[in-house]
Structure 1
């Protein structure tokens, strides 16, 4: 699933073992600790890599979108082994100042963060720590260091297929939930057209056997043969059925504990998800009262200009932070309206603007959103850059 680039830019540091203290007793001592936001913000927090993949200025994103929270990724075991938390496997949490500075900037702008543990790639603490209690103690160091009010368990391959490791992760989540009253806990897993795969259903069964109920279970419906919003909402509906059958919840409870974690623009498997797709899934999430709506990641919530690196731009036509505005809307915010003024060189975009009420034959050329577009085939009402894939982007004009 998430083919996430963990190109960390910091050197490894030595970890000092810390004593696990509860959020209630220690949060006030953590640098930059702040009061918790309402849970709708943690439920909407989009992922952000704070150390790699050309991280944006989070305060600027907040000002442009109204988003107040971010999901910082990822906490892993050290690349050299051991049971101590690091950023991306290389930067010891105990010695960190870089991510702490990012968190301070977000909180200074009136926001907050959740921290995501796991992700795709790297070695997870559930694989290296001794049991659930040892795993929980490692994560408690992260909660204490940053005065966290929220944490995300992103359980993916290869740990996802390791029953003992998943037991450590879920058991640790349960311990943290108990020892840190009010802690918002999300669990994220791969998505399939059936909702989730066999390992996902085993994860649900293990959660039930532990008596562990997070704030939500979220699926990632991308990198698995998905095609636009309709395939994603279908997967969410299938996952809703799995939550009912495996956890014994009624329909309303299942929806309330269900979440969506998407990917904006071009996915790692060359699927495309446009702004219109996000709007459709957002409408589904709000109408069914889902418990979470997020995406991977803010680092690539911008158009590609000098590069097509999928880790730092979306490879679809967009304005900066278009997709983050959807998470802010899920939280109940109205994103600020921005006006972009562009100067068009003489002779450029000389073709007529696209019209929703005009039928176009294949080969027709139009202008839309500052780009020229060529129709692949006959089309009517399909927005250039939209999910139908009718239009070829000829570039800025």
Structure 2
């Protein structure tokens, strides 16, 4: 996500006239969303990004109202180092904080939005320009730069968008983590807790190694992360043949698993629901920077339903500036525009679709602290009577596609495996042969063992030798020999299918046998009739 364009003087003048003509009297009044937060329980929130310096200007101060009259928060972006590359915050290098107040009337516009019951989050970083941590010389200096922005706009939540060169810089990542920990400690002592979100690139297999290092560094520093917001966009070759929705859903599932491991390793085990609440998602609506990636309104609808169902804590989008169908004077919609989506949206807005059921505000969760979940620390005990599949054992071998239960979760083998823990805390999905399918559901019982009537096949006998393809019955279950065998019990194939000479038959196999027997019988009868 990036910010590149500067507003022209005549547009700034026009914006000032409009705001002055319509602004409600009084400045720096009571922040109405705080009163609302005190009356309602905290809930998940939506806030679209606004590129503050893009042309034409987006009037975020007018508010985005849904059918229920709810006004959503906004994420204003991006604060970076100034044009000289010093540790001085600026809006996209174009405006200092004072300049933005004078030339963009930014302070007044923020206050106007707040008077409608919505809140403002400020994002630091982005894809362009110099991220502050890459130029500040100490954690203390960086913390002061953050604080200048926080105090200027009276913020309780900030967003750190780490991508590009900043993401790959271990030194600046360490400095940033220490600065955030210092800042949170200072503000907490003053009774002004600060929520900090990390916004990071993602692919369907989860966070990249650099992204994970940023999260781990924050946790190691003692910083309390409100959550990790994923840029579900621009996947490139990692998307493979997936739709944009499927790639985005896979990204969240994978990061949910990674985040659980990182918090556990930091000594803060969290429940699955808590981890979903610490995840955010930011799709790039319409045409993405990758030409063949287009996030449609239908993708947005499905993604919203997925996020609501799983309890994703935050939903965003890049960007509100682009939430409109391109006009006829913009013929090449495969080229990304700052002012339109590149897809035919009809009468719909992406913000309306993505914000469904996200009626909370960032401020409502700003004072929350992350605490260990005792229930998450202790693995759940497995009960064969309430498990739909066999419980994993270290001695057994499992073929590709085999499903097992471990710690009340169902896993499926991605390839042959033996002795490898299904919930081994690996951060890369390809480091484990197991794929998590989901939890054991209430009321589940073992799947019934497939059996057939006595006499369908000969009963297995230990003293009999069998050739490849022979079929037998053992305790009512049908088996087929994979090679010559004598004395090997078919029951052993359940625990060691790889080395067992027997493979259990399915209902389809038996049905095919019955059909063949029927055809043979008919052929025999026809032959007798012919004689």
Q: Which residue of 1 aligns with 2:245?
A: 229
Matched-pair contact (CA < 8 Å) for 1:45–1:327? no
Match among 185, 199, 219 for residue 188 of structure 1: 199
- 1:135-184 deviation line (CA, Å, top 9, x unaligned): 11001111111111221111111101111111222333333333333333
- 1:2-60 deviation line (CA, Å, top 9, x unaligned): 3x24212379xxxxxxxxxxxxxxxxxx9567255549688411100123132322244
TM-fit CA distance, 1:64? 5.8
CA distance in 2, matches of 1:42, 1:53: 31
Q: For the structure 1 residues 287 and 328, does the alpha-carbon distance in structure 2 shift closer, same or farther, using more than 3 Å as the test?
A: same
CA distance in 2, matches of 1:61, 1:319: 21
1:315 partnered with 2:323: no
Match among 31, 34, 49 for residue 34 of structure 1: 31
- Higher mean C-alpha displacement, 107-116 vs 83-92: 107-116
Q: Which residue of 1 aligns with 2:299?
A: 277
- Higher mean C-alpha displacement, 257-266 vs 302-311: 302-311
TM-score, scaled to structure 1: 0.73
- Higher mean C-alpha displacement, 147-156 vs 324-333: 324-333
* Bigger radius of gyration: 2
CA distance in 2, matches of 1:156, 1:255: 22
TM-fit CA distance, 1:326? 3.2
CA distance in 2, matches of 1:217, 1:9: 31
Matched-pair contact (CA < 8 Å) for 2:50–2:77? yes
1:289 partnered with 2:286: no
1:200 partnered with 2:198: no
The alignment partner of 1:318 has SS state of coil
TM-fit CA distance, 1:215? 1.0
The alignment partner of 2:31 has SS state of coil
1:94 partnered with 2:98: yes
Match among 71, 74, 88 for residue 75 of structure 2: 71
CA distance in 1, matches of 2:156, 2:297: 30
How many residues were matched structurally?
A: 313
Q: Which residue of 2 aligns with 1:6?
A: 4
**RMSD across aligned positions (CA):** 2.4
CA distance in 1, matches of 2:74, 2:150: 15
Give runs of aligned pairs for residues 1-397 of structure 1, distance below 5 A: 2=1, 4-9=2-7, 31=28, 34=31, 36-37=33-34, 38=37, 43-63=45-65, 66-97=70-101, 98=104, 99-180=106-187, 181-225=192-236, 226=239, 227-248=243-264, 249-250=269-270, 251-270=272-291, 271-305=293-327, 306-307=329-330, 308=333, 310-319=337-346, 322-332=349-359
- Higher mean C-alpha displacement, 125-134 vs 104-113: 104-113
CA distance in 2, matches of 1:185, 1:101: 24
TM-score, scaled to structure 2: 0.55
Where structure 2 has 5 or more consecutive residues not aligned to the other structure, the ranges are 10-26, 361-531
CA distance in 1, matches of 2:100, 2:348: 28
Matched-pair contact (CA < 8 Å) for 1:71–1:116? yes
Structure with the bigger RCO (C-alpha within 8 Å, sep 6+) is 1
Matched-pair contact (CA < 8 Å) for 1:5–1:53? no
- 1:295-343 deviation line (CA, Å, top 9, x unaligned): 110000000003245211001111466111134324238xxxxxxxxxx
Q: For the structure 1 residues 263 and 173, does the alpha-carbon distance in structure 2 shift closer, same or farther, using more than 3 Å as the test?
A: same
Q: Which residue of 2 aligns with 1:16?
A: none
